[in-house]
Amino acid sequence: MKRLNYLVLLGASGALILAMIAALVGWVVPAAASSPVNVKITSAMVFLGNTGTFEASGPAVEAGLICPVGNVYDTKYRSAGSDSKRFINLFVHKLFVCDDGSGSFEMDLNLRIFSPPRTKGTWRIVDGEGAYAQLHGNGKLTAGPAVDNIVIDLYTGKLHND
């Protein structure tokens, strides 16, 4: 009975304002994002060739968040300072194109290349097309030295689609 009395006291304009606020609150509340799931990506890159292949595995592939195989292209990169010549910082932008035609996604890498040659860093999904337009995720990357002109990059982390 009290609710009815409050609505009567608000009048038509007050009820309209209350309805608008309720609609606005419903409009700005974001939809729940999917839960992040583990992914492992192994990429064989041609040393200084800017191209390679990748294979993905883990729950993210099983959930259909990412395709299992494709090609990789380094599209941009730049280096920045070092610490007493022990390492160099490298920023790389990569394009992953799925073999099954489902789409592509882009990733930024923030790497530290040490001497003797070994690489550690982080990665983050920054864009996607097709089935990967809403793909997000990040993680860690390690890479060994080039063997027969091939560098194996290992990405581990979590992906989600929202």
- Pick from 76, 154, 79: nearest CA to 121: 154
- Residue 135 CB contacts under 8 Å (≥ 6 apart), including other chains: 65, 66, 105, 125, 128, 159, 160, 161
For the chain, what is the mean pLDDT? 82
- The pLDDT tens digits for 49-76 are 889 999 999 999 999 999 999 999 999 9
Identify the three-state secondary structure at position 26.
helix
Q: What is the CATH number of domain 37-161?
A: 2.40.480.10
Domain limits, the chain: 1-30, 37-161
Q: Which pTM value belongs to this model?
A: 0.76
Task: Check if the beta carbon of residue 81 is closer than 8 Å to that of residue 64.
Answer: no
Say whether pLDDT at 6 is over 80. Answer: no
